[in-house]
Structure 1
Amino acid sequence: MEPSASGEHDDSSTEAGHSFHGEAFNEGPRQKAVLIPGLAKINFPTSTKSERAQQFFEQGVAQLHGFWYLEAERSFRQAAKEDPQMAIAYWGMAMANVNNRKRARGLIDEALEKKDKGADKREKLYIDALNRYLPKFGDDAPKDDSDAKKKRAENFIADLEKILHEYPDDIEAKAFLVLQIWLGDREGVKLTSRYAVNALLSEIFAVDPMHPVHHYRIHLWDSAQPKLALQSAANCGPSMPGVAHMWHMPGHIYSKLHRYADAAWQQEASARVDHAHMTRARLMPDQIHNFAHNNEWLTRNLIHIGRVRDAIDQAQNLVSLPQHPKYNTLDKRGSYKYGRERLLQILSQYALWDELIKESGGYYLPPTSDAGQQEEWLGWLAVAHFRTGNGARGAKTLRSLSRRRLALETKLLDLADESAAAKEAAKEAADDQADDETEEDVEAEKADKEETPDEIKSHLKTLRTIIARVSAAAASHRRDEAKFKVHAKQAKLEPLIEARWLADARDLKGALEIAKRERKKREGEVRPLAILVDLLWRNEQKEEAIKQFETLRTLAADADIDTPLLARLSHIAKAAGVQGDWRIPREPAADLGERPPLDKLGPFRWQTYEAPTWEGKLPDGTLTSAEEFGGRPRIVVFYLGFGCLHCMEQLHALSPRIDDFRKAGIDIVAISTEDHETLKTGIDNFDKPVEIPLIADAKQVIFKSYRCWDDFENQPLHGTFLIDSRDRVRWQDIGYEPFMDVDFLLEESQRLLKLP
């Protein structure tokens, strides 16, 4: 259905909050785009007569080149808002969903419907090329196996070349061809010559030396010959400084070349640009593509260069960011999981055992219901006790892990003893119940499902490795070389940890061999060289230790030398004739390109934003305001009236839990799209009491101020917000459906409000 001139619709068959254009438009950005500074100037002519539509379209193309997919889709949607017949704008939306092929299919189908009215010959070639590339979905769709994927990828490359045959000066076609040749390698289309692709990139740079395809050159050479991308590493961020990923990408090259300080700068720059944008757009951190990946990589590089305190701070910050079931939990590759993993990595690798013990069970390493993560945490906690000389505490935790292992082994044996007849009887009973089973029964059964035998075996394998690690730490503490080596074989210890523990178990020669090997493999890292220096000295190779220490002095230019690992080298520094701070400042490399001051790019940390103030009416017509609910943490729910069944489900899911929230010091208030008379009528006529205070926002002024509004279709959206006692928004969910996981909302609200 097409929108009216105002963008409004009268399709009453569409569920509240859902897009009038269909399922593909439910997800993705629903708030309007703005023209963002710091983006590359793109020349991509289209048939639109709207200057604004053209501006937003070309902004979207620039954002595609930076893999900034959320904002690219927003820009293309804005272009379509400015010119509803602009078919190529829907091509752009589909391109922005390369990681979600089903959505992309729905969007390119929209472009196909419009192309005969709103596209010229060149635009039709782009639309047809993407249409052939994207798979079909549905019962009648052909099987999309590896051969089909390869064929589609080959066709896409050929179709992009067809555009170049017709329009040889189209550098955007060349740019997308470069990208697809690189991506096609993953789909079975072998990349036979990187130099040939590089030559195509050179044609683009001959026209525009600062085109954002510097991004693609980095990807091209990243895994093959990273030195060949150094020029693009210098130009990538400056070519499009408003896109965080363009600052991140050079970090790939510098990391591969063991230039970890330069890589860390790039990743911090990327984080700052992301944070600045999140503040403007009011986004939660993990809503940004690659945000968590960038920040955990920054943490790793801080570890490499010995900036231990900054690495700890960074990992803790990742843990403290808002979680969401869709994109950031312990089960997903989001900030929380990365932060927890990196924090354990830093504390264990830099032997900060006292801090690990202090941290465990605190804000950033709390106990968790995830068995695997809990066991990993308990394992390191036991190690920390042994390494700090508290053998009794370490042994107690080790026994706890052993009991877990025995329980799993017993469960596995019990499952093996089940007879085929018993399984068949259980199946028959389940079949008898199937007709009476409700949807809730099915979901409960899924939640209660036991681990399968294969899952138990995998779990046991991991747990045995953890137990072996703890046992190795205990043997090292006892200086029992033989037992240590037995346990170390199964423990899969990080090599440098193994070297230090082996030395403590009195095998200095074996420890030194490991340290030398790791030093050679891990060029540019502070920790391997520091451990090598220490072990050389302990092995009475003092001249070689001092020689290696001189190299370390420059390598550790940014390192925290008061950490235990480096502090123990102070006597070697004295032997080398160095007093006090023994670090030698690093000279900046000459090939870095333009680097603005970091604080000009944005804040180092994601910042909450201030909740908008508002006025509304209670059901009796009394005027109320946000101030009356201030001073205490609160959940604010935006719902689409009593006519929205999903909204009523959300309110009735929250109502019985209102006391649980109150006990946690959290109030709940709900704001409706209805006027106060309709709101009162709905309350009087509804079959269940609603315990939550309801506020009328008849003109949706509050909805719009909180961005619970689809600017493209002029309709309200569902929203759920956690606002703290300082009126800062700490968590939010805005979308076409209400947030229904009440248990998660309560638990996450409590966690966020307790963080320092």
Structure 2
Amino acid sequence: MNLRYFAAIPLLCCLCITSQLWALEPSAGGDHDESSTTAGHSFHGEAFNEGPRQQAVLIPGIPKIDFPTSTKSERAQQFFEQGVAQLHGFWYLEAERSFRQAAKEDPEMAIAYWGMAMANVNNRERARGLIDEGVAKKDKGADQREKLYIDALNRYLPKFGEDAPKDDSDAKKKRAEKFIADLEKILHAYPDDIEAKAFLVLQIWLSDREGVKLTSRYAVNALLSEIFAVDPMHPAHHYRIHLWDSAQPKLALESAANCGPSMPGVAHMWHMPGHIYSKLHRYADAAWQQEASARVDHAHMTRARLMPDQIHNFAHNNEWLTRNLIHIGRVRDAIDQAQNLVSLPQHPKYNTLDKRGSYKYGRERLLQVLTQFALWDELIKESGGYYLPPTSDAAQQEEWLGWLAVAHFRTGDAARGAKTLRSLNRRRIALETKLLDLADAAAAAKEAETNKSEPQQSEEKSEADADESETQETPDQIKSHLKTLRTIIARAAAAAASHRREEAKFKEHAKHAKLEPLIEARWLADARDLKGALEIAKREYKKRTGEVRPLAILVDLLWRNEQKEEAIKQFQELRNVAADADIDTPLLSRLSHIAKAAGVQGDWRIPREPAADLGDRPPLDELGPFRWQTYEAPTWEAKLPDGSLTSAEEFSGRPRIVIFYLGFGCLHCMEQLHAMSPRVNEFRKAGIDIVAISTEDPETLKTGIDDFDKPIEIPLLADAQHHIFKSYRCWDDFENQPLHGTFLIDSRDRVRWQDIGYEPFMDVDFLLEESQRLLKLP
């Protein structure tokens, strides 16, 4: 394509004033000045910018909830009740989508905005904006029951702004107490409202965190029993699990069995029983639940074209699944799941190394399974590879280097281990030097103040000095960093001493290494203190019943300590505990001689019989894939500025960034293209093309291009009918307007990364780095 494009972008009005007139169909009534709304932003205010902006569908596996409303629209009622059910499953993104769809079907449905606010319990400021809309509409047809729900939430949510009262712990407690009283008020007026009972149970449990003491779990449980007497499969089973999770998990076993089947379309409902089974050391049952949850989420994300960490608790569920896979010895699946977490798309908003998202969890769990199962050769192979690459994060890099040194020592490569250990010590010395320099500077400053001498430099710092002071570590931060680093160094030194069979030196380093107890037991045994190692192993076995690793290590150490009869006895128990374990891993394969002594040939595992108290469990493969999978990019045809056609096939076969922008009249869009323009060659060097698709028609697009005089290389295409925008879901279905979008599509036409929203994605450095990372993954 030989097209002219330009990088010089004038400062236009921030409104999108293209010649296109979009048929606006807001999701709510009221007086909104649509002409003053920034392109891509909601016509109804800031609270509506975030959250789902694509239409909802009625999802299989959502139970029928009885929550009558005043709407005359059957579809609005269906979507509203679907949203209420999704609230019970903490599926907040989809709950809000359902409530928005209800408001789309019935713009005056005030209770739908109550639902949207309820779906934003983790974002109180947004929730406030949403409930305000419900309050404004409640007198236009809402019945008395709906008004009670709206008023209760309105009083509970804090006010925001300069004039808002201080929201301290006492204010939070009072609001929580009032909310509980308001929910009881609903029950006084409508005693058969089991939804009010369900939300009351939830709020009593949540308010314990806000200072309202939960004084009787049995009283709350009695309220739950009233719900189940009416509807035995109500999704409030979720709340009973939370109620007893930390107190008496056995009392929630019935709800653990019913939770997933009560709402099989919601991943979190499969996840929740894992809390109970984990507390009861039933790790295989917990792993099944969390795998079911992961598969349901994976299937949904592919259908809805969501990135994984957009789903509430997705990363938490999958990292917990990985931990339980480790407990039951499913080592290969644990590695696979950890690698999958690392390989998922990162986004600066919700998944980076410094957030509790998939990438950080995946890296931590991958190191955990490799180190705890002594897969040192695999750790060395992974380090610097696809899933454990070097990182600019000092803490993560040092943790990785520490384990790399351990792996070298444990595999007998003392020279490489020592080299890595020296690099860690150089880091330690640099930090110690920095700490001394800061101490000297502080002492000099104090002396200067005492002598009342003039400062050596101007009181006005340069901008560079100011920036440096803002990013410089404080002495306390350096001390904390040093403490962690010294622990890592001690761990590597302990591994070296163990390999050399130096018992005294090992014990000296182990005092500071904070070794995981079972790793310490194995290393101590290698350092020739079998008795001490056995004491640790016995202690851990008693604390960690149901786990494969403690029992396997105990069996091994008993045998090595010549307690062969006891070793065989414990091995018989291991055969049951390790029913799902990978027995070809080094930890378990070394027990083959014990199996032979016990008279067992070949696969020594005893198949697991399902527990009698489990609920309906569908085949896992029917729920979705084990790993998250990318989706296929929609095909399209667009017009060039001269009116001729081009298509997605012309860009196929090479990775590309596809930008959806709202026209030359949208300042934010022009800022994005302006930011991308100087970087085109960097993307090309990385093997990535860039193309941008506009809402404009060819004539308007050409006019915009001709108004500028600095050519750039990004092809600009026209999608005047918005077919491509809609096929990529860069479209607000509730307000019938386009949204900004940025996509990474690989050479196989699979979408690897995306950002869709009311503003364009502007972090070009992140986009380039993340695109390169994702495209390198196998």
TM-score (norm 2): 0.94
Name 2:563's counterpart in structure 1: 541
Per-residue Cα deviation, 1:354-389 (whole angstroms, up to 9, x for no partner): 111111000000000100000000000000001011
Query: What residue identity is the alignment partner of 1:243?
Result: V
Name 1:531's counterpart in structure 2: 553
Quick check: 2:33–2:43 contact (8 Å CA) kept in 1? no
Instruction: Find out whether 1:113 has 2:136 as its counterpart.
Output: yes
Query: What residue identity is the alignment partner of 2:649?
Result: E
What is the SS of the residue equivalent to 1:116?
A: helix
Following superposition, the deviation at residue 432 of structure 1 comes to 6.9
Name 2:572's counterpart in structure 1: 550
Name 1:365's counterpart in structure 2: 388
Query: What residue identity is the alignment partner of 2:431?
Result: L
Name 2:742's counterpart in structure 1: 720
Following superposition, the deviation at residue 148 of structure 1 comes to 1.1
Structure 2: how far apart are the matches of 1:317 and 1:430? 52
Following superposition, the deviation at residue 420 of structure 1 comes to 3.1
Match among 460, 463, 475 for residue 485 of structure 2: 463
Structure 2: how far apart are the matches of 1:113 and 1:431? 52
Name 1:623's counterpart in structure 2: 645
What is the SS of the residue equivalent to 2:669?
A: helix
Name 2:274's counterpart in structure 1: 251
Following superposition, the deviation at residue 12 of structure 1 comes to 2.2
Query: What residue identity is the alignment partner of 2:346?
Result: Q
Structure 2: how far apart are the matches of 1:445 and 1:38? 54
Quick check: 1:683–1:689 contact (8 Å CA) kept in 2? no
Name 1:638's counterpart in structure 2: 660
Structure 1: how far apart are the matches of 2:26 and 2:96? 18
Quick check: 1:652–1:690 contact (8 Å CA) kept in 2? no
Structure 2: how far apart are the matches of 1:340 and 1:658? 31
What is the SS of the residue equivalent to 2:508?
A: helix
Pairing of 1:168-187 with structure 2 (within 5 A): 168-187=191-210
Instruction: Find out whether 1:518 has 2:540 as its counterpart.
Output: yes
Name 2:26's counterpart in structure 1: 7
Are the structure 2 counterparts of residues 662 and 396 from structure 1 closer, same or farther at C-alpha, using a change threshold of 3 Å?
same
Pairing of 1:138-157 with structure 2 (within 5 A): 138-157=161-180
Following superposition, the deviation at residue 482 of structure 1 comes to 1.2
Following superposition, the deviation at residue 308 of structure 1 comes to 0.6
Name 2:157's counterpart in structure 1: 134
Name 2:605's counterpart in structure 1: 583
Following superposition, the deviation at residue 690 of structure 1 comes to 3.6
Per-residue Cα deviation, 1:279-317 (whole angstroms, up to 9, x for no partner): 111111111111111111111111000011111111111
Structure 2 residues not aligned, in runs of 5+: 1-21
Pairing of 1:348-387 with structure 2 (within 5 A): 348-387=371-410
Pairing of 1:328-407 with structure 2 (within 5 A): 328-407=351-430
Match among 731, 734, 758 for residue 709 of structure 1: 731
* Larger CA deviation: 731-740 vs 597-606: 597-606
Match among 230, 235, 251 for residue 228 of structure 1: 251
Following superposition, the deviation at residue 413 of structure 1 comes to 1.2
Structure 1: how far apart are the matches of 2:302 and 2:653? 23
Following superposition, the deviation at residue 183 of structure 1 comes to 0.6
Query: What residue identity is the alignment partner of 1:590?
Result: A
Match among 29, 44, 63 for residue 21 of structure 1: 44
Query: What residue identity is the alignment partner of 1:565?
Result: L
What is the SS of the residue equivalent to 1:36?
A: coil
In the TM superposition, structure 1's runs of 4+ consecutive aligned residues that sit over 6 Å from their partners are 421-428
Structure 2: how far apart are the matches of 1:181 and 1:497? 42
What is the SS of the residue equivalent to 1:720?
A: strand
Structure 1: how far apart are the matches of 2:23 and 2:309? 35
Query: What residue identity is the alignment partner of 1:475?
Result: A
Per-residue Cα deviation, 1:471-514 (whole angstroms, up to 9, x for no partner): 11111111111111111111110000000011111111111110
Pairing of 1:208-357 with structure 2 (within 5 A): 208-357=231-380
What is the SS of the residue equivalent to 1:333?
A: coil
Per-residue Cα deviation, 1:311-364 (whole angstroms, up to 9, x for no partner): 111111111111111111111111111111001000100001111111100000
Name 1:614's counterpart in structure 2: 636
Quick check: 2:82–2:98 contact (8 Å CA) kept in 1? yes
Pairing of 1:26-41 with structure 2 (within 5 A): 26-41=49-64
Query: What residue identity is the alignment partner of 1:414?
Result: D
Match among 197, 204, 217 for residue 227 of structure 2: 204
Query: What residue identity is the alignment partner of 1:367?
Result: P
Structure 1: how far apart are the matches of 2:342 and 2:307? 14
Following superposition, the deviation at residue 425 of structure 1 comes to 9.0
What is the SS of the residue equivalent to 2:149?
A: helix
What is the SS of the residue equivalent to 2:756?
A: strand
Name 2:523's counterpart in structure 1: 501
Following superposition, the deviation at residue 686 of structure 1 comes to 3.2
Name 1:487's counterpart in structure 2: 509
Following superposition, the deviation at residue 427 of structure 1 comes to 12
Name 1:653's counterpart in structure 2: 675
Following superposition, the deviation at residue 447 of structure 1 comes to 11
What is the SS of the residue equivalent to 1:12?
A: helix
Quick one: higher RCO (CA 8 Å, sep 6+), 1 or 2?
A: 2
What is the SS of the residue equivalent to 1:78?
A: helix
Structure 1: how far apart are the matches of 2:458 and 2:225? 68
Name 1:594's counterpart in structure 2: 616
Structure 2: how far apart are the matches of 1:61 and 1:428? 64
Query: What residue identity is the alignment partner of 2:353?
Result: L
Instruction: Find out whether 1:472 has 2:497 as its counterpart.
Output: no
Following superposition, the deviation at residue 5 of structure 1 comes to 8.1
Match among 91, 101, 121 for residue 78 of structure 1: 101
Structure 1 residues not aligned, in runs of 5+: none
Following superposition, the deviation at residue 552 of structure 1 comes to 0.4
Following superposition, the deviation at residue 85 of structure 1 comes to 1.0
- Across the two proteins, how many residue pairs are aligned to each other? 747
Quick check: 2:25–2:734 contact (8 Å CA) kept in 1? no
Are the structure 2 counterparts of residues 236 and 426 from structure 1 closer, same or farther at C-alpha, using a change threshold of 3 Å?
farther
Name 1:420's counterpart in structure 2: 445
Quick check: 2:307–2:753 contact (8 Å CA) kept in 1? yes
Structure 2: how far apart are the matches of 1:264 and 1:427? 64
Structure 1: how far apart are the matches of 2:565 and 2:619? 42
TM-score (norm 1): 0.96
Per-residue Cα deviation, 1:713-751 (whole angstroms, up to 9, x for no partner): 111000000011111111100000101111111111111
Match among 732, 737, 745 for residue 754 of structure 2: 732
Name 2:590's counterpart in structure 1: 568
Per-residue Cα deviation, 1:414-453 (whole angstroms, up to 9, x for no partner): 11221437899999957576xxx7xxx99x9389712222
Structure 2: how far apart are the matches of 1:734 and 1:73? 17
Structure 2: how far apart are the matches of 1:5 and 1:122? 32
Name 2:85's counterpart in structure 1: 62
Structure 1: how far apart are the matches of 2:457 and 2:110? 55
Following superposition, the deviation at residue 581 of structure 1 comes to 1.1
Are the structure 2 counterparts of residues 683 and 446 from structure 1 closer, same or farther at C-alpha, using a change threshold of 3 Å?
farther
Quick check: 1:303–1:346 contact (8 Å CA) kept in 2? yes
Per-residue Cα deviation, 1:633-686 (whole angstroms, up to 9, x for no partner): 100000011111111111111111111111111100000111111111111213
RMSD: 1.9
Structure 1: how far apart are the matches of 2:468 and 2:176? 38
% of aligned pairs identical? 89
Structure 1: how far apart are the matches of 2:48 and 2:454? 47
Following superposition, the deviation at residue 256 of structure 1 comes to 0.7
Quick check: 2:331–2:581 contact (8 Å CA) kept in 1? yes
* Larger CA deviation: 664-673 vs 613-622: 613-622
